Chains A and B, each alone.
Chain A
């Protein structure tokens, strides 16, 4: 029940009866099919066409507004044209499908609609709304303007009887008996009214929107017209007269003020006069203004609405000819001091002489803002730039070009807009839409969204050469000018010379030696200068991850000098939807060949590059597949002399890459094979490479494993282990691989347990991290009969491997005091949570869980206990 009302009991019972009847009809109507409603609508349209003249006559007799012939035409447009638009539209059940997007739209009727109809277009609006309601299976309670009640109730009767005869439920339309604002207020607030469709004056629209109900409110207009000097004046004048005199100007989209360029002003006015318009003198214009516009309110007087030009002229005392169609009054400005610049729903038109396009636009904007915001505007011009600019500066739901405003705005006659008798005016007019109101506004449109797998990818360097002496393949790459980017140590031990040996002899070769550390911007830019100086077409990066990363960034800045590294390092959640786009236009082109001299980072394969932001004392990660080297050379001769510590650190980094890629939410069959292979190789060959550094097979396989793991994590990414290791390693200056090792057993136990929060992942059908770890255990032949057993055995195997590599088993073992660590933990947790690495982790880490993981790593307690306690069933 609505709020307490001052309505009498009898009246309230009457209104409740209407509501109940409409609610039942709407409920029953939901059983109808598309074929049912289409059949009914067609018969209603035919009935409306049959009775178009009859209803027009009733409207004229009752309202004394408008022109009989035009009202008949409006009734025909409201039926035939609307039918032409809706006949093939699906409005029942599934109305649109987008199979490629896995989406379907399904119609749900609104139920009971309370419809207010105006005095100006009474029967046509009723016909239009009846057709829309039946097409969408809604019931309507009509509340016509009191001065158009008889003609409207007759229109409702004709539509209702036809609809019910052909299958619509009884009670689907009702028309309020003679009523007042209290009735409307009661109905507007009733819980069983689903929508208010208010076509009428500002008061009705405001009441609708104030009711708290969803509402379509269509308010007043004040249509400016710009008649620009390149327009066809004959067409413009005829169109304006046609529109402004149509139904004596009662359509709220009709022209109100025509702003005419100075060059054609006199010509246009003469043409208006020649075709039957009366051009008012200054004195006449003043008299006309007082008659048509109420000086107290600034709004038009009701007595002028929809009256003939000759009748108005007679009342005013103008010297118009007896057959005058239109009264034209020149104005010198817009606003209350120029009354005729307001809306005039009668054949009275204001004209303004504009000295320039700029002035014309300003006057049109002024008219638009003087009561016509969001409604309709018109332009006559053949200058597309001016038409486009007009569309930009005028706030109107309909901007009609080279056509009559009123009939143009109705849609379907002069243009391809949706036919309507309700013009949405947007927020400018206090409405919720700028659309031509149509059947879709009478529906709740439901979206059925099927799960769609995200598009996946697999991107790696186009060529990868591996095994001993793979560097010889450099011969295959012709170049005019090559820069070798390396570090002093590698130059000193002769690695740079080995590379030089296999570069084709016709190539000019230059060496850029840079420090072996995460590159700073200054170092990168020096390298870029060298690339420019030598006009390099090839870069060979020889070194560990830092060296290759430096070369990637140099290439980026060389090819796209305007690239803003700081901007490109902006955070993102999904690389495919990131805000920042890497440059695609290249000033220069250079091939990047990456030769790795460590077996861990996999930078020769990956699309990542880390640089050091010295100014802010932080690492900046760049990630984009355009950073991926063109060629990777995985030649173990460059790692045969790697120290034991570095072998262990980088080897565990490789293993972590494989383990994290294998359980990532972006894991795919394309990455699984690489991840699993890398894990197997690392388990088998890392201890041998560590204990027997000169074992060529072990070095070769670990070198391959690093690249294979990189292939996996370049496409599946890493996880929370890396997020923790990045934060901890940076804070305490611990090597990346070592930091990874401290976290690894705990992270596996964590991921294998039931997540507190699952990570949204359309590509995963179920949580599978624990079973994937179990699969790894099987591949490593670790034994175990259950998933839980197997996960424990995997953790144990990793712990044994770490022991064999002489890794510290806890953060405490590094000599970091408990107090020192306790102080650092809050920051570590924040930094780890901001790290993009965990975005692909199978479970979403809570801040408290990151903290717990840090402390587990600090204490180094056996991770298998945790796995045992929380194992996913």
Chain B
């Protein structure tokens, strides 16, 4: 992912808000965006919904989303919620 245009730091506390902000800035992403999840310890249903929504926006704008630093518990949530295929994952 050397050509990243945008990098979003997702705060574990205000996650839904951060994801909504990321969605608004996706136009600047130049085809690719990375969401830094290293500060996210847990996700709640609202965050999962926000992620799903963001993935929908990204699809619509032709932006590929990558999640960086997702811990294994959150990764499992995304797998169980059938969201994992919509992202790529970076360590």
* Interface residues in chain A, defined as those with a beta carbon under 8 Å from any beta carbon in chain B: 21, 23-28, 30-31, 111, 169-171
Contacts and interface: CB of A to CB of B under 8 A. Distances in A.
B2 to A, nearest CB: 32
Contacts of A111: 80
B80 A169 contact: no
Given A30-B76, A31-B43, A170-B45, 15 more contacts: A23-B80, A23-B81, A23-B82, A24-B49, A24-B81, A27-B79, A27-B81, A28-B42, A28-B44, A28-B45, A28-B77, A30-B77, A31-B74, A31-B77, A169-B45
Interface in B25-76: 42-46, 48-49, 73-74, 76
A28 B73 contact: no
B47 to A, nearest CB: 8
Given A30-B76, A31-B77, A170 B44 contact: yes
Residue from A30, A31, A171 having most chain B Cβ neighbours under 10 A? A31
A633 B80 CA distance: 70
B7 to A, nearest CB: 25
Nearest to A21: B45
A27 B77 contact: yes
A165 B63 CA distance: 37
Interface residues of B, number: 16
Contact of A24 (B42, B45, B79): B45
A24 B48 contact: yes
Contact of A30 (B46, B49, B73, B82): B73
Contacts of B46: 170
A26 to B, nearest CB: 7
Contacts of A170: 44-46
A28 B48 contact: yes
Interface of B: 42-46, 48-49, 73-74, 76-82
A27 B48 contact: yes
A28 B77 CA distance: 6
Contacts of A21: 45
A25 B46 CA distance: 10
A28 B43 contact: yes
A191 to B, nearest CB: 10
Contacts of B76: 27, 30
A169 B48 CA distance: 11
A170 B77 CA distance: 14
A403 to B, nearest CB: 43
Nearest to A111: B80
Nearest to B41: A31
B53 to A, nearest CB: 12
B80 A27 contact: yes
Contacts of B79: 27
A593 to B, nearest CB: 66
Given A23-B81, A23-B82, A111-B80, A31 B45 contact: no
B75 to A, nearest CB: 11
A297 B22 CA distance: 65
A144 to B, nearest CB: 24
Contacts of B45: 21, 24-25, 28, 169-171
A31 B80 contact: no
Contacts of B80: 23, 26-27, 30, 111
9 contacts: A23-B80, A24-B48, A27-B76, A27-B78, A28-B45, A28-B81, A31-B73, A170-B45, A170-B46
A34 to B, nearest CB: 14
**List of 8 A-B pairs having minimum Cβ-Cβ separation, nearest first:** A27-B80, A27-B81, A27-B77, A170-B45, A31-B42, A24-B48, A24-B45, A31-B73
A27 B80 CA distance: 5
A120 B64 CA distance: 54
A397 B38 CA distance: 51
A600 B5 CA distance: 81
Contacts of A31: 42-43, 73-74, 77
A70 B70 CA distance: 51
A17 to B, nearest CB: 12
A21 to B, nearest CB: 8
A308 B80 CA distance: 49
Nearest to B82: A23
Contacts of A27: 48, 76-81
Contacts of A23: 80-82
Nearest to B46: A170
A865 to B, nearest CB: 50
Residue from B46, B49, B77, B80 having most chain A Cβ neighbours under 10 A? B80
Residue from B46, B48, B78 having most chain A Cβ neighbours under 10 A? B48
B50 to A, nearest CB: 11
B42 to A, nearest CB: 5
A25 B82 CA distance: 12
Residue from A23, A27, A111, A169 having most chain B Cβ neighbours under 10 A? A27
A30 B81 CA distance: 11
